[in-house]
Structure 1
Amino acid sequence: MYIPHAFQQNDPNELQRFMEAHSFATLISTNPFMASHLPLTIENGRITGHLAKANPQSTLDGQEVLVVFQGPHAYITPEWYQKTGQVPTWNYTAVHAYGTLQAIREPERISMHLHQLVRQHEHPRDTPWQLDLTEEGLQKMARAIVVFEIPIQKLEGKYKLSQNRKPDEQHRVVEGLEASGSGDVAGLMKKWVL
């Protein structure tokens, strides 16, 4: 990913938090050249997920892959800079994780992944749903998917939030974002730039 110095996010704790908060991500491979959009778990420097066996990416065991996590983003109009000769841009946040995909074949680890994924997404609910499959039902499901993990070998973070603009322009961008309904990006600018 092209990351000008002003937009680099290198704090490993922040990158971990970002991936967890935006865990519906894109798995990209070169052989086959394709992308899949997947719910993932991120823990102890590893990304875990699963693919349908019918997905061509289910054969990626041992191949290097890229996982793209995207956060809030918003259009930035040059009108907010209050200068002539400016062009529109986009403020956004993204993290790229690189690693070698490893298929998980042990039934207990497959079961553990499925339970963890359900817990992760049901946890905020008042009455979380529980994965209540019989062992036979779980094994049937496991035969239809490929569970994988990716030990993270490299992380890149880009928080492009108008860091390259003057403070008065940054304040106007925040005001414009809030007025246009992009308060999430305005909040990120307040946290990381202002």
Structure 2
Amino acid sequence: MRRTPHYLLDDRDEVRRLIRENPWATIVSHVEGAGIVASHYPVLLDEQASVGDEIVLVSHVGRPDEELHRLGTTEVLVIIQGPHGYISPSWYDDDAVIPTWNHVTAHLYGVPEILDDAENFRILAELTDHFEQHVADPRSLALDEEYSRRVARGTVGLRLRVTRIDARLKLSQNKPAEVVARIVNQLDGDGPYAHDGLAREMRRVHDPRHS
């Protein structure tokens, strides 16, 4: 990503928040003989496995994606995409003509560790419980463990210790306060580019009272 200094996101706690709130990730590999390979899977932070300020992700892929990516042998890129949206120049002032796109994005790099079957099933169960906790009638893999374990054999678990981070908060930090206020007001409205999630991210950056 373009390294514009005032958009850099160096706060690892904010990167963790971004992962927690946006767990649907893109996994990208460059594989000799195959070129660029991309897949999409949910990820979770592995807080127990992290050491110090380390960021550790756990996930799984469906077979044969582990072979397509050559997982465990080369570095992968995991892209976390937070709220993003079109910003019209009409929200700036009467003379503005150049639009932009605001976004919150993190690129996370590392060589994944392949999990054994037992740990993969444990992670799959945790992943299910993590998302099921928010529904009225939550389900668990433990309700039919024998069947769940058979299905799990079609997946490969992985743990990624992040060795490099390239993250951005591009949220109109280069605009004066009155323009930022107009942008947030438009994002909070009911127009074609309204986006309450992006409005919340802008308030976090421009007005810490809303964090």
Identity fraction in percent:
27
| TM-score of the aligned structures, taking structure 1 as reference length | 0.91
Structure 2: stretches of 5+ with no match in the other structure: 48-54
Whether the 8 Å contact between 2:132 and 2:138 is mirrored in structure 1 is: yes
> Paired residue for 1:3?
3
1:121 and 2:121 aligned? no
- 1: CA distance, partners of 2:156 / 2:69: 6
| Residue of structure 2 equivalent to 1:87 | 98
Aligned to 1:149: 159
1:173 to 167, 183, 205: 183
1:96 aligns with 107
- Give how far 1:183 is off: 2.0
Hey, what's the Cα distance between the residues in 2 that align with 1:143 and 1:177? 44
- Asked if 2 retains the 8 angstrom alpha-carbon contact of 1:76 and 1:173, the reply is yes
Matched, 1:43 2:46: yes
> Aligned partner of 1:70: which letter?
Q
SS of equivalent to 2:139: coil
Name stretches of at least 5 consecutive residues in structure 1 with no aligned partner.
none
Question: In 2, distance between residues paired with 1:85 and 1:78?
Answer: 5
> Which stretch shifts more, 53-62 or 110-119?
53-62
Residue 16 of structure 2 aligns with an amino acid whose one-letter code is: Q
- CA contact under 8 A between 2:104 and 2:168: conserved in structure 1? yes
Query: Aligned residue for 2:52?
Result: none
Output the aligned Cα RMSD.
1.7
- Corresponding residue number in structure 2 for 1:193: 206
Q: How far, CA to CA, are the matches of 1:100 and 1:169 in structure 2?
A: 42
Does the 8 Å contact 1:58/1:146 carry over to 2? Answer: no
Is the Cα contact below 8 Å between 1:52 and 1:58 reproduced in 2? Answer: no
Secondary structure at the aligned position of 1:92 is classed as strand
5 Å matches for 1:42-61? Answer: 42-44=45-47, 45-55=55-65, 56-57=67-68, 59-61=70-72
Taking a change above 3 Å as real, the CA distance of residues 183 and 142 of structure 1, as seen in their structure-2 partners, is closer
State the Cα distance separating 1:58 from its structure 2 match. 5.3
Alpha-carbon offset, residue 148 of structure 1? 1.1
Which structure carries more strand by proportion? 1
Letter in 2 for 1:119: D
Give 2:28's aligned residue. 28
Counterpart residue type for residue 111 of structure 2: T
Residue number in structure 1 paired with 2:50:
none
Question: Counterparts of 1:130 and 1:168 in 2: how far apart (Å)?
Answer: 49
Distance in 2 (CA, whole Å) between partners of 1:182 and 1:145 is 35
